[in-house]
Every structure is written in C-alpha cells, then in structure tokens.
Amino acid sequence: MPVDPVALTADLVRCPSVTPEEGGALVLLEKVLTKGGFTCTRVDRGGVCNLYARWGRQGANRTFGFNGHTDVVPLGDEAAWTMPPFGAEIKDGFLYGRGATDMKSGVAAFAAAALDFVADTPPDGAIVLAITGDEEGDALDGTTALLDWMAANNETMSVCLVGEPTCPDVMGEAMKIGRRGSMAAFFTVTGVQGHAAYPHRAKNPMPAMARLMDVLSSRVLDEGTAHFDPSSLQVLTIDTGNPATNVIPAQSKATVNIRFNDTHTSAALTAWMQEEADQVAAEFGVKIAMRVKVSGESFLTPPGELSDLIAGAVEAETGRKPELSTSGGTSDARFVKDHCPVVEFGLVGKTMHQVDERVEVAQISQLKAIYTRILNDYFA
C-alpha cells in the first residue's frame, strides 16, 4: 500500500506544533518512518525537538538528504479563521490548517515518497531526513543542532533538498538555488537634552539621525548579479518618543534591515555602516552606537547537477521548467549550504503564515510524484 501524503499531511496539521512546541508532529513522523525501515534519532537541544532519520548504510557513497520543519507560526487572529486551524479539514479541494503549506505538506510528501521508494526499489545508497521543530523561531537549536549532531556522528548528505514552498502562484514554476543574506542594524544616537528655546545648551540627536538614515538608505549597494536581485537597505523605524513640544530629546533610535546578495558579506556591510556612523557622529558632535544581528549570509548553489536533477523532475511532472530563483526571505538552506550542495523545491506558498492557510490537495500528491521522480533519477 503506497503511503498517502494527504492523510499524512492531515495527521501532521492536527499536531499543534507552534514553535517551539513539538505538538506530537515529530513523534508521529518518527513512528511512520521507523515502521518503514528508517533508523530514527531525536536530536533535541535547548528545548527544541528535532528528528534525524536514515534509511540505508551510514557513509554510503550517495546519500540524498531532505531538510524540512514541522513547527508552524502562531495562528494570528484566531477569530478570523473560517476553518479550525488544527482541524485539517478539506473543503473545495483545499486542506486547511496552520502549516498546511509551510510546510507539513512538504514533509509529508517527501516522507511518503521516500517510504514507498525504499520499499519498492531499494536504492544503492542512503536517504536521510533532517527535520527540525524550530525553523520559524530563532533556529539556533533547529537545523543547526541537526547538522552539528550529524558532523559529530559521521552522518553526511551528498546533496540536500529543502522542501519549503518555492512556487509563487503555480506548481512547478520556481525553485531556489540560493538566498539573499539578511541582517538588521540598530542605531542609538545620543546628544544632550535641553530646552527647545535654548538649543545652544543642548545637542539635538535628530539631525544626525536624519543624516545617517539618509546616507545609509540612499546608497546604491549594487545593481544585482547573475542570479540575484539588487541588495536593499530599508529603514524600518526611527524612534524618539518625545511627547513634548519644547524639549530637545537626548536620544533617538533606529533600525534598518538589509537583504544582500553575493556581492556583500555581513562583515563588510557592518564595517561600512560603522564608518558612516562614525563620520556622522564626528560631524554632528553626537555619540552613535551600533549593534548588528545577522540572520544569514547570502549563498548560491551554482546551477549544475543538482539543480538540473530537480528541474528535470519538476518539468517531467508539471510540464513547467522552474525558474532558478534566489528571492524571498531566509530559510534553513543557509545552514545546510555549509555541508553539501542544497536547493529548495516545494509547492505553492501563497497562503503561508496567513489566516486560513491551505493547500490544494492535488498539489500534495503532485509534490510526492515529483519527489519520487527526483529519488529515482538520483539513484538511477
């Protein structure tokens, strides 16, 4: 009996696994995979649950890896849901629930494909699944914990497919071969508070803040590269919180976010922003403190064997040649890329993180067929 990916998706959606809750999702997956001959190990760290599963010999010449997550984002406005968010109910060809697209259907489709594949045509090699319970959170103890544990236990992947939703509107239209880097910078400009009528006795931080934000946001970081859109710096907030009409404030704070391509590193961008901040501070006679938080560096798996394999399978099953994209936010592929070539392909992600998140039921089976073909072609 082939494993039904729709039923498995539904079972997973019924597990309330809002990050960092395991919610029963990994326990269920472990049970299903173990029954199908996979050796499963829970790799929990820092209160986060993760699951590693391998079929086949450790250290096999060809090991196909899959990375995904079973945690989901919070419900948001629960009253706005028209269907139970953990009900996995099907209406008009769509299965509803938090995680239906992002990405319990992806995990279910690959697990179903892998289980049937090893049962029907046992490959000369190994298949591993590294499934995390913390992709939507800080991800400090999620895929990173799995990769650390794998390195310590001589577990490897020759290639890795991440099953995040990658198609904007239509099944098969896009896959991701890289991602832009992402970082945030927090600035605090400090002057001297005073009476608005006696500015010579104060030091207003506002003009310095305005200049700094203008300097940073008006710089053209690049014009884009062969596989990436231009990098972008966005000012997200400038907070002074001054309710008075006669007081020069002492301090102003601002946050910027940068999405950067492969012409930059977070270190170089940090150095640039520090230089600009120092210059503005000197010019205006204020203090400027800067703190950065890096979510991930940009990376690219250059088009080649792995992207051809995935694109070929997608085209064979959907009739569409997927675009090789690097758009969107970060994903756990940013961790996997340090271990082996990684690409991402999954279904249409239109409703991810939304109220009434839903997946077209037919797409789950189609995704399983694509993943099955990928495994067939990889081990052929």
Q: How far is the CB of 52 from Zn ion (least distance, A)?
A: 18
**What angle (nearest 5°) sits at the alpha carbon of residue 157, between those of residues 154 and 163?**
135
Containing 275, the helix (H) or strand (E) segment is: helix 266-284
> Least distance to Zn ion from the beta carbon of 166, Å?
10
State which residue, 9 or 251, has the beta carbon closest to Zn ion: 9
Q: Which element (helix H / strand E) includes 141?
A: none
* Binding positions for Zn ion, 153-172, rule CB under 5 A: 164
Select the residue interacting with Zn ion from 103, 113, 171, 221 (CB under 5 A).
Answer: 103
Please identify which residue in the block is written with the tokens 């270190």.
267
The CB-of-351 to Zn ion minimum distance in angstroms stands at: 12
Tell me the one-letter amino acid at 178: G
The yes-or-no answer on residue 135 being catalytic is: yes
| Sequence-distant (≥ 6) Cβ neighbours of residue 263 within 8 angstroms | 221, 222, 225, 231
Identify residues 223-282 at the interface with Zn ion (CB under 5 A): none
**Stretch 316-355: interaction string toward Zn ion, x if CB under 5 A:** ----------------------------------------
Residue 131, token pair as written in the block: 């499934």
Q: What residue is closest to Zn ion based on CB?
A: 102
Backbone φ and ψ for 340, nearest 5 degrees, come out as -165, 165
Nearer to Zn ion, 146 or 288 (CB): 146
Which of 22, 30, 71, 102 binds Zn ion (CB under 5 A)? It is 102
Annotated catalytic residue, options 134, 135, 141, 155: 135
- Other C-beta atoms within 10 Å of 348: how many? 21
Q: At what angle do helices 361-379 and 5-13 cross, to 10 degrees?
A: 120
Which stretch, 87-95, 97-105, 151-159, 273-281, contacts Zn ion (CB under 5 A)?
Answer: 97-105
- For Zn ion, the closer CB: 102 or 317: 102
Q: Measured between alpha carbons, how far is 43 from 52 in angstroms, rounded to an integer?
A: 7
Catalytic residue annotation? 71, 135
Interacting residues toward Zn ion by CB under 5 A: 102-103, 164
